[in-house]
């Protein structure tokens, strides 16, 4: 078990954090350490959900309501976690989801996260609202399989330019977020009047510095004000068809929670779906991603690559999602906790911990390889109810 020290990168006071040694054995360990490292406004931005945060908690609780049904007396002497997603060979079915403004967590920002994903044989998805540009991340992590998460702007020429930049920088797919015509009401951000600090910028937009996510309105956060002014709330599935025709890259829609939208994604030419509730940051009381997964898989699972993000923190979470039909899962906040702890090294260690946990889960469930995972190896807790 690797031990490493966490450096305080977001607070300027001297402390013993850089000297403390601790062993990290689960995502919760990284999360606890990150809570002591990050500035309050950044921490609140990363960890908060919409409304009363019911769905934020549900994303984790829903996984706990699914029971494992392991099979025994099977040869598990060799474990193989390799997979292929949209033509990309990966070491295992977990990637890093898009999260905004990662230099709030560590000065190395998105570059460190992308390099860590590459060293782990994973996919890294870069957010439109990043603090390193498409080109900077491409240079920082040339050997990582990278996808670009896209918001559609009112200025469609700006949207098209970003797609072209992603193509030129050798990104492998466009991940269109469809659940954010506006941003949800995140109460902590409003209370904190959250905005980027002056030394950071939205790197994908020339001429837009920290002021691009600031607001003089005390009733909102800077990021919400920026989104309201720039994002296109008129976006429809016809615009998805426009995007599919615009680029040679596969289009993955992120934010699908219903069979109806899954079917439309297929009809309008998408290559994949990420079942997601945006980290529970958009509209509260929607289902957990893992709850919505089965109906999406049933609707289009043989035609599109169905993936998931939201609430994944353990190896058995990955297993349960795959058993329910996902081909891959993504983590967002968890990677930020690793980044806050120790930059690239922190994310690499977090991914190592998660992969080891997943491999143990596979062996104890009686599976040598991913294709051994079947639907009958999980069950909702209600199946075990007794009168």
Q: What is the pLDDT of residue 386?
A: 73
Tell whether the model's pLDDT for residue 322 goes beyond 60. Answer: yes
Tell whether the model's pLDDT for residue 13 goes beyond 50. Answer: no
At 203, the pLDDT band (50, 70, 90 cuts) reads: very high
The percent of residues above 70 in pLDDT, for the chain, comes to 88
For the four alpha carbons of 199, 204, 206 and 207, in that order, the dihedral sign comes to: negative
The mean pLDDT of 337-349, rounded to a whole number, is 98
The mean pLDDT of 344-353, rounded to a whole number, is 98
At 220, the pLDDT band (50, 70, 90 cuts) reads: low
Q: Give the C-alpha separation, 81 to 91, whole Å.
A: 6
| DSSP track, 322-377 | HHTT-SEEEESHHHHHHHHHHHHHHHHHHHHHHHHHHHHHHHHHT-SBGGG--GGG
> Whole-prediction pTM value?
0.92
Percent of the chain as helix, strand, coil, to the nearest 5: 45, 15, 40
The mean pLDDT of 325-345, rounded to a whole number, is 98
Q: Give the C-alpha separation, 104 to 109, whole Å.
A: 7
At 210, the pLDDT band (50, 70, 90 cuts) reads: very low
What phi-psi label fits residue 10: left (phi over 0), alpha (psi between -120 and 50 degrees) or beta?
alpha
Whether residue 127 contacts residue 202, with contact meaning beta carbons closer than 8 Å, is answered with: no
Q: What is the pLDDT of residue 208?
A: 46
Q: Give the C-alpha separation, 364 to 11, whole Å.
A: 42
Q: What is the pLDDT of residue 283?
A: 95
Angle at 110 between CA 253 and CA 217, to 5 degrees: 75
Q: How far apart are the first and last CA of the chain?
A: 45
Structure tokens of 11?
């607070």
Q: Which residues are catalytic?
A: 278
Q: β-strands 272-275, 251-256: how paired?
A: parallel
At 209, the pLDDT band (50, 70, 90 cuts) reads: very low
Tell whether the model's pLDDT for residue 17 goes beyond 60. Answer: no
Tell whether the model's pLDDT for residue 100 goes beyond 80. Answer: yes
Q: What is the pLDDT of residue 213?
A: 56
More confident residue, 190 or 91: 91
Residue-range domains of the chain with CATH: 3-374 (3.20.20.70)
């Amino acid at each position: 078990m690797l031990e490493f020290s966490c450096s305080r990168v977001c607070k300027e006071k001297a402390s013993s954090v850089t000297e403390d040694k601790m062993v990290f054995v689960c995502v919760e360990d990284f999360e606890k350490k990150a809570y002591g490292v990050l500035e309050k406004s950044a921490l609140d931005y990363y960890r908060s959900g919409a409304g009363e945060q019911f769905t934020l908690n549900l994303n984790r609780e829903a996984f706990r309501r699914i029971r494992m049904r392991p099979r025994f007396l099977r040869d598990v002497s060799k474990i193989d976690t390799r997979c292929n997603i949209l033509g990309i060979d990966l070491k295992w079915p977990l990637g890093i989801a898009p999260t905004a403004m990662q230099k709030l967590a560590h000065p190395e920002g998105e570059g460190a996260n992308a390099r860590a994903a590459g060293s782990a044989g994973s996919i890294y998805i870069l957010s439109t609202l990043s603090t390193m540009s498409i080109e900077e991340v491409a240079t920082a992590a040339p050997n990582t399989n990278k996808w670009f998460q896209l918001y559609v702007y009112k200025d469609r020429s700006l949207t098209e330019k970003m797609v072209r930049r992603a193509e030129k920088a050798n990104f492998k797919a466009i991940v269109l977020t469809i659940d954010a015509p506006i941003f949800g009401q995140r109460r902590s951000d409003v209370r904190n009047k959250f905005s980027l600090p002056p030394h950071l910028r939205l790197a994908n937009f020339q001429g837009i510095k920290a002021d691009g996510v600031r607001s003089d309105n005390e009733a909102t956060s800077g990021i919400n004000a920026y989104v309201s002014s720039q994002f296109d709330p008129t976006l429809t599935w016809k615009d998805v068809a426009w995007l599919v025709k615009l680029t040679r890259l596969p289009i993955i829609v992120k934010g699908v929670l219903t069979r109806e939208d899954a079917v439309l994604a297929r009809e309008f030419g998408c290559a994949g779906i990420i079942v997601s509730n945006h980290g529970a940051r958009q509209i509260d009381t929607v289902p957990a991603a893992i709850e919505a997964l089965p109906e999406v898989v049933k609707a289009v699972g043989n035609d599109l690559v169905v993936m998931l993000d939201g609430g994944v923190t353990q190896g058995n979470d990955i297993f349960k999602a795959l058993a329910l039909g996902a081909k891959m899962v993504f983590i967002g906040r968890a990677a930020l906790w690793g980044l806050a702890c120790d930059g690239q090294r922190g994310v690499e260690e977090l991914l190592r911990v998660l992969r080891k946990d997943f491999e143990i889960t596979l062996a104890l469930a009686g599976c040598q390889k991913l294709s051994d995972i079947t639907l009958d190896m999980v069950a909702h807790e209600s199946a075990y109810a007794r009168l």
